[in-house]
Amino acid sequence: MSVPGSESGRGRVGLFVTCLADLFRPSVAWASVRLLEQAGFEVTVPDRQTCCGQPAYNAGDLPTARRVARGILDAFEPFDYVVAPSGSCAGMLRLHLGRLFESEPDTATRAEQLARRTHELTEFLVDVAGWTGVAASFPHRVTYHDSCSSLREMAVRDQPRALMAQVQGLELVELGDRDVCCGFGGTFCVKYPDISTKMVSDKTAAIAATGAETVLAGDLGCLLNIAGRLAREGRPVACRHVAEVLAGTNGTDPIVPVGP
Amino acid sequence: MSGARERILTRVRERLGSAPEEPAPSREPREVRSGDVGEFCRRLQAAGASVERIAEDAVPQAVARYLAERNLAARVKVSPALANLGWAEEPLLETAVGVADLADSAAVMPAALGVAETGSLVHASAEDNPTTNHFLPDHAIAVVAEETVCADLEAAFSAASGPVMPRTICLITGPSRTGDIEQRIELGAHGPRTLHVLVTAPVPERGPTSAT
Amino acid sequence: MMDGAAAARFPEASARALGDENLQAALRLLGEGFQARRTDAVERFAAFEDARDAAVAAKTRTLRHLDRHLETFEARCREHGGVVHWAETPADARQIVLELLTDRGVRVLSKGKTMVAEEIGLNGFLEANGIEVIETDLGEYIIQLAEEAPSHIIVPAIHKTMPQVADLFRQHHDQTGAELFPRRTPADLVAEARAVLRGRFLEADAGLTGANFLVAETGSSVIVTNEGNGDLTQTLPQLHIVLATIEKVVPTLADGAAILRVLARSATGQDMSAYTTVSTGPRRPSDVDGPAEYHVVLVDNGRSRLLGTPAEEVLRCIRCGACMNHCPVYGAVGGHAYGWVYPGPIGAALTPALLGVETARHLPNASSLCGRCEEVCPMRIPLPKIFRYWREQEHAARLNSGRMRLGLAIWGWLAARPRLYRLATGAAMRVLSRLAGRSRRFRSLFLASGWTQSRDFPAPAGRTFLNSWKQRS
């Protein structure tokens, strides 16, 4: 059941890599490809993708967001599914793209169609694919950070947990403040660094309180923020994207290796 | 400021444009069902009130007993509506009928209704039922008849507001409280520190051959 | 009084707030306090989501015909002997209240908690005109003694710790006999405030309250309180003045019931607040207590201009405070940093409308858009969506920083040209990765000081995914 390729022909997935995975941590994208292929999908990575447009969208710069969004619409038109290893980017495609084209009905229709085909990775594997073939081992105590967009925009909460439960040796300890933001918020973390620092420090304290060796999450933005703070505080907790653990690509170093 | 009314309303109309008329789908009052009186008492207690179920002719005794058990002075201000409950049967209880003032530590007043949904008493002001008595004394003792307990807020508002709207309708749900210091709930902020509720049941009609 | 311009100084004020240990101690109580209590209340009430829908529907229906409901309210209020005044601006509202008081020779005004009075700067204005104002809500009373503004809409003194309140009482109550109170626990302090304020209720010639809502069909004002101060304020004096903004009206008492079902649960985690009082007109001729006069001042102050805009949904707000109780930014900096009457998410959504985006532009920006506010808002106000709307207004008016605009322009230009983007980012990541060395992080980084002041900057892998992927396929 979990042999790669054994369920081929279930549909074509266009992988929305996300700019952060593309630039900072390609292993997240490789892991996503592997998981989607294991679940029996044909994965394509459209060459013309760059970013979901959130930096401009959330800064109120709609013309720029629109320009970037048009590229996405073109790049991801041909696929049965669009899957992103990020609740934040998937949320942008599913919930916000249409709003950008309120005055262009045809484009808005295309955006709505894209929205319906867009999924966050773990949500896709569990809810759409019904996949239960995780073949990975991670004998560690871990905790899981729910990104706000996964939790509130994409209703992703149980799906990553259902998948993690299939990983051999993985022990999940839940965070005390699991529905609270880590303070990343895109440009928020550099525009209001003091407030963001307070928020991420609360989060790293909560992570430390679980006694976990590794913190997992489904969004690289949160992970870079949390990893950066953990490293600065000298806390020996590793950070990884949940896809990396599910795909069994544990050889990769964690985001910022633990230690000085 | 003359003309403010027209300017505000005109701006509102311009902004709204013409919206279609819609039916008001606000909820209908629920019918009373068995268990509502119990629900009312349970919720009132959960809100920090003490509740005692008594016969309707036993109010003076219950009041005297309540004050004695709590070591409070045997003295109450009685709302005019309750003046004729037979207070004389409790000779040790000092009563005065009227509007409460700062000297009154305890007062007895009626509630027009009880609300099962919320455990609220409903006070409706009237010539024989001053609002002050519910708020000024340290200890409020309210009398409510069990047959007045209604199901929900809609039923309570509907019953309390007609046919003539009283000046004050107050839903009272427990004693006064505050969370203003370090979010800790403390009772007795400005209104009563304690709320004792006497839920009365009708006395069965006594036949002419009754032994008493 | 609060100076609206303070909203523009959010960055400085928030930095101060983060360093204020008393404030941080007070804010830390939110988790086990209001957040936990709301969670419990919602769990106890199986029909909470239905109740939310009903409350939203009631308010949405109201706003769609706001003009008619206001007219009905005015007519019914008048039928019951009340007087309705209309004020477009804070200055108009202040003047109406002052004239009501001076015409009747009022010297002492007792006041229930009303955010509208804060919004129009009423206290300072009345005091400058020789009228003594007694705040009767315990939290408002505490900040009146401290000469501060409220930092929360339902718990005005939430920023104060118990020892700070005890200090204030020592400063203001000693010499009045109140020094006998032990001041060791919150209960001691509540008892002391009660004793001090008791007599003052009776001294007041007039009482002023806000309104949680107004009811059109009966011409009534409704206040929801826990302390009972509002009821003493509107019952004992001869004159009762209600201050309410125009969006507070609902058509019927049943609509009010729909709001009550979610209000206390969201605010304090109670199923129902201790006192919900419907006031209709002055005392009836045969009544033995109650005010002889009842006046309602309807204040617009920018509400009507919000109708029909993408921000109009803020007009559904019932001022429960759940958004600020659950906001991690409010939890970090408290209410004063927001610089005006309404802090937290609702403030970030409403203040730009009332003070202008130019003054209040920081507030909707100081959000990670985490959405916890919208999640707990009983009226389902899409607060993050409204923050984005204000950011769009800010960007369109070129009020944001030039550096931010330039950065976005360059990034957007590049992101719309995938091939060039690939080249540029590929080169940049290669360089960054090499610079990071074996530690795989930066402790400081040019142009990223906002990040590196408190976080290491993780090094990129080196080769971008898309550049590698091309070789696989």
What are C334-375's pLDDT values in tens digits? 999 999 999 999 999 999 999 999 999 999 999 999 999 999
Encode chain C in three state secondary structure. Answer: CCCHHHHHHHHHHHHHHHCCHHHHHHHHHHHHHHHHHHHHHHHHCCCHHHHHHHHHHHHHHHHHCHHHHHHHHHHHHHHCCCEEEEECCHHHHHHHHHHHHHHCCCCEEEECCCHHHHHCCHHHHHHHCCCEEEECCHHHHHHHHHCCCCCCCCCCCCCCCHHHHHHHHHHHHCCCCHHHCCCCCHHHHHHHHHHHHHHHHHHCCEEEECCCEEECCCCEEEEEECCCHHHHHHHCCCEEEEEEEHHHEECCHHHHHHHHHHHHHHHCCCCCCCEEEEECCCCCCCCCCCCCEEEEEEECCCHHHHCCCCCHHHHHCCCCCHHHHHCHHHHHHCCHHHCCCCCHHHHHHHHHHHHCHHHHCHHHHCCCCCCHHHHHCCCCCCHHHHHHHHHHHHHHCCCCCHHHHHHHHHHHHHHCCHHHHHHHHHHHHHHHHHHHHHHCEECCCCCCHHHHCCCCEECCCCCCHHHHHHHHC
**Residues 52..71 of B with a Cβ closer than 8 Å to C: which?**
none
Contact C368 A188 (CB under 8 A): yes
Which residue among A30, A186, A232 places its CB closest to the CB of C455?
A232
Domain membership of residue C465 (yes or no) is: yes
Which range is least confidently modeled, A161-175, B175-189, C382-396? B175-189
A191 and A166 within one domain: yes
Alpha carbon of C298: minimum distance to chain A alpha carbons (Å): 34
Contact C328 A181 (CB under 8 A): yes
Rg (CA), chain B: 21
Residue A139, preceding bond cis, omega within 30 degrees?
no
pLDDT above 50 (res C1): no
Chains B and A are touching, with contact defined as 3 or more CB–CB pairs separated by less than 8 Å: no
**Residues 88..107 of A with a Cβ closer than 8 Å to C: which?**
none
Query: Given CB atoms, is C440 within the 8 Å cutoff of chain A?
Result: yes
Q: For testing the chain B interface, which of C50, C229, C253, C262 should be mutated: the one with the most B CBs within 10 Å?
A: C253
Domain membership of residue B77 (yes or no) is: yes
Domain membership of residue A230 (yes or no) is: yes
State the residue range of the domain holding A58.
Answer: 12-127
Domain membership of residue A4 (yes or no) is: no
- The residue type found at C282 is P
Of C304, C336, C353, which residue sits at a domain end?
C304
Query: Given CB atoms, is B12 within the 8 Å cutoff of chain C?
Result: yes
Alpha carbon of A142: minimum distance to chain C alpha carbons (Å): 20
Of A107, A127, A147, which residue sits at a domain end?
A127
Q: What is the CATH number of the domain that holds C229?
A: 3.40.50.10420
A41 and A84 within one domain: yes
Give the per-residue pLDDT at A3.
41
A114 and A22 within one domain: yes
Domain membership of residue B16 (yes or no) is: no
- The residue type found at B112 is A
A34 and A18 within one domain: yes
Q: How many residues does chain C have?
A: 473
A155 and A76 within one domain: no
Domain membership of residue C429 (yes or no) is: yes
Domain membership of residue C359 (yes or no) is: no
Which residue among C333, C429, C465 places its CB closest to the CB of A17?
C465
Which residue among C187, C197, C260 places its CB closest to the CB of B190?
C197
Domain membership of residue C147 (yes or no) is: yes
Rg (CA), chain C: 26
* Measured torsion, CA atoms of residues C300, C305, C307, C308, in degrees rounded to the nearest 10: 170
A98 and A42 within one domain: yes
Computed over every residue of chain C, the mean pLDDT equals 95
Distance CA C269, CA C34 (A): 7
**Per-residue DSSP letter, A137:** B
Contact C290 B125 (CB under 8 A): yes
Average of pLDDT values for A234-260?
A: 89
ipTM over 0.90: yes
A120 and A139 within one domain: no
Give the per-residue pLDDT at C176.
73
Contacts for C250 with CB less than 8 Å, ≥ 6 apart: C58, C59, C62, C69, C213, C214, C215, C216, C256, C259
Domain membership of residue C329 (yes or no) is: no
Give the per-residue pLDDT at A149.
97
Domain membership of residue A180 (yes or no) is: yes
Of A105, A127, A149, which residue sits at a domain end?
A127
pLDDT above 90 (res C406): yes
Distance CA C253, CA A86 (A): 46
C416 and C300 within one domain: no
Q: Which long-range contacts (CB under 8 A, 24 or more apart) does C270-273 make?
A: C270/B47, C270/B173, C270/C37, C270/C41, C270/C226, C271/B43, C271/B46, C271/B47, C271/B118, C271/B119, C271/B173, C271/C41, C271/C44, C271/C45, C272/B47, C272/B118, C272/B119, C272/B120, C272/B171, C272/B173, C273/B173, C273/C224, C273/C225, C273/C226
Query: Given CB atoms, is C404 within the 8 Å cutoff of chain A?
Result: yes
Q: What is the pLDDT of residues C421-455, one digit of tens each?
A: 999 999 999 999 999 998 899 998 877 888 999 99
Element (H, E) at A112: helix A105-117
Alpha carbon of C257: minimum distance to chain B alpha carbons (Å): 6
Contact C454 A260 (CB under 8 A): no
Alpha carbon of C40: minimum distance to chain A alpha carbons (Å): 16
Backbone angles phi, psi at C366, to 5 degrees: -80, 60
Alpha carbon of B141: minimum distance to chain C alpha carbons (Å): 15
Give the per-residue pLDDT at A6.
44
Tokens at B48, concatenated: 């920090």
Which range is least confidently modeled, A54-63, C1-10, C400-409? C1-10
**Residues 122..181 of A with a Cβ closer than 8 Å to C: which?**
148-149, 152-153, 177, 179-181
Residue in C with minimal Cα distance to A55: C408
Tell me the HSE value of C286 on the side-chain side, using a 13 A CA sphere. Answer: 7
The answer to whether the beta carbons of residues B131 and B191 sit under 8 Å apart is: no
Name the domain count of chain B: 1
Residues of chain A positioned with their CB less than 8 A from the CB of C421: 50
Query: Given CB atoms, is B159 within the 8 Å cutoff of chain C?
Result: no
C268 and C155 within one domain: yes
A240 and A165 within one domain: yes
Give the per-residue pLDDT at A1.
36
The answer to whether the beta carbons of residues C111 and C136 sit under 8 Å apart is: yes
Chains C and B are touching, with contact defined as 3 or more CB–CB pairs separated by less than 8 Å: yes
State the residue range of the domain holding B163.
Answer: 31-201
Q: Which long-range contacts (CB under 8 A, 24 or more apart) does B32-37 make?
A: B32/B116, B32/B149, B32/B150, B32/B151, B32/B155, B33/B151, B36/B116, B36/B149, B36/B150, B36/B151, B37/B114, B37/B116, B37/B146, B37/B149, B37/B199
- The residue type found at C76 is R
pLDDT above 50 (res B211): no
Residue in C with minimal Cα distance to B19: C64
Distance CA C196, CA C190 (A): 10
Domain membership of residue B26 (yes or no) is: no
Distance CA B166, CA B122 (A): 12
**Residues 334..373 of C with a Cβ closer than 8 Å to A: which?**
365-372
Give the per-residue pLDDT at C165.
95
Of A127, A150, A177, which residue sits at a domain end?
A127
Domain membership of residue B207 (yes or no) is: no
Name the domain count of chain C: 2
pLDDT above 50 (res C397): yes
Average of pLDDT values for C63-74?
A: 96
Alpha carbon of A197: minimum distance to chain C alpha carbons (Å): 6
Residue C175: pLDDT band (50, 70, 90) is confident
Give the per-residue pLDDT at C85.
98
For C281-294, b where at least 16 C-beta lie within 10 A, e where not — what string? Answer: bbbbeebbbbbebb
Which residue among C366, C368, C421 places its CB closest to the CB of A181?
C368
Alpha carbon of B89: minimum distance to chain C alpha carbons (Å): 27
pLDDT above 90 (res A240): yes
The answer to whether the beta carbons of residues A113 and A73 sit under 8 Å apart is: no
Domain membership of residue A86 (yes or no) is: yes
Residues of chain B positioned with their CB less than 8 A from the CB of C166: none
Which residue among A17, A58, A194 places its CB closest to the CB of C466?
A17
Domain membership of residue C379 (yes or no) is: no
Residue in A with minimal Cα distance to C327: A180
Contact C290 B131 (CB under 8 A): yes
Which residue among C220, C255, C288 places its CB closest to the CB of B26?
C255
Which residue among A29, A194, A202 places its CB closest to the CB of C14?
A194
Domain membership of residue B2 (yes or no) is: no
Average of pLDDT values for A128-136?
A: 97
Residues of chain A positioned with their CB less than 8 A from the CB of C473: 45
Residues of chain C positioned with their CB less than 8 A from the CB of A225: 455
Residue A208: pLDDT band (50, 70, 90) is very high
Give the per-residue pLDDT at B28.
86
Domain membership of residue A254 (yes or no) is: no
Which residue among A24, A47, A184 places its CB closest to the CB of C368?
A184
For C224-246, b where at least 16 C-beta lie within 10 A, e where not — what string? Answer: bbbbbbbbbbbbbbbbbbbbbbb
Give the per-residue pLDDT at C473.
60
Query: Given CB atoms, is C433 within the 8 Å cutoff of chain A?
Result: no
Touching B: which chains, 3+ CB pairs < 8 A?
A: C
pLDDT above 80 (res C2): no
Domain membership of residue A7 (yes or no) is: no
Backbone angles phi, psi at B209, to 5 degrees: -95, 5
Of C288, C304, C320, which residue sits at a domain end?
C304
% of chain C surpassing 90 pLDDT: 91
Q: What is the pLDDT of residues C158-174, one digit of tens each?
A: 999 999 999 999 999 98
Domain membership of residue A170 (yes or no) is: yes
Report how far apart, in Å, the C-alpha atoms of C470 and of each of A50, A198, B46 are: 14, 41, 67
Q: Which residue has the tokens 């003070």?
A: C355
Query: Given CB atoms, is C457 within the 8 Å cutoff of chain A?
Result: yes
Neighbours of A107 (CB within 10 A): 18
Distance CA C310, CA B176 (A): 40
Residue C134: pLDDT band (50, 70, 90) is very high
A46 and A61 within one domain: yes
Regarding predicted confidence, which is higher, C89 or B23?
Answer: C89
pLDDT above 60 (res C279): yes
Which residue among B1, B22, B119 places its CB closest to the CB of C96?
B1
Chains C and A are touching, with contact defined as 3 or more CB–CB pairs separated by less than 8 Å: yes
A56 and A35 within one domain: yes
Encode chain B in three state secondary structure. Answer: CCCHHHHHHHHHHHHHCCCCCCCCCCCCCCCCCCCHHHHHHHHHHHCCCEEEEEEHHHHHHHHHHHHHHCCCCCEEEECHHHCCCCHHHCCCCEEEECCCCCCCCEEEEECCEEECCCCEEEEECECCECCHHHHCCCEEEEEEEHHHEECCHHHHHHHHHCCCCCCEEEEECCCCEECCCCCCCEECCCCCCEEEEEEEECCCCCCCCCCC
Contact C455 A225 (CB under 8 A): yes
Give the per-residue pLDDT at B212.
43
Contact C257 B153 (CB under 8 A): yes
Query: Given CB atoms, is A187 within the 8 Å cutoff of chain C?
Result: yes
Contact C425 A67 (CB under 8 A): no
Q: What is the CATH number of the domain that holds B115?
A: 3.40.50.10420
**Residues 110..139 of B with a Cβ closer than 8 Å to C: which?**
118-120, 125-128, 130-132, 134-136
A203 and A181 within one domain: yes
Give the per-residue pLDDT at A252.
83
Residues of chain B positioned with their CB less than 8 A from the CB of C260: 153
Q: Which of C295, C367, C296 is nearest to C328 (CA)?
A: C367
Average of pLDDT values for A210-235?
A: 97
DSSP percent split of chain A into helix, strand, coil, nearest 5: 50, 10, 40
Q: Which of B124, B142, B133, B140 is nearest to B187 (CA)?
A: B140
Average of pLDDT values for C193-200?
A: 89
The answer to whether the beta carbons of residues A184 and A225 sit under 8 Å apart is: yes
Domain membership of residue C276 (yes or no) is: yes
Name the domain count of chain A: 2
Q: What is the CATH number of the domain that holds A188?
A: 3.40.50
For residue C201, count CB atoms less than 10 angstroms from its CB and return exposed for 0-12, middle for 13-18, buried for 19 or more. buried
A203 and A152 within one domain: yes
Residue in A with minimal Cα distance to C393: A60
pLDDT above 70 (res C414): yes
State the residue range of the domain holding C111.
Answer: 4-160+205-304
Q: What is the pLDDT of residues B164-210, one digit of tens each?
A: 999 999 999 999 999 999 989 999 999 999 999 999 999 987 655 54
Residues of chain B positioned with their CB less than 8 A from the CB of C245: none
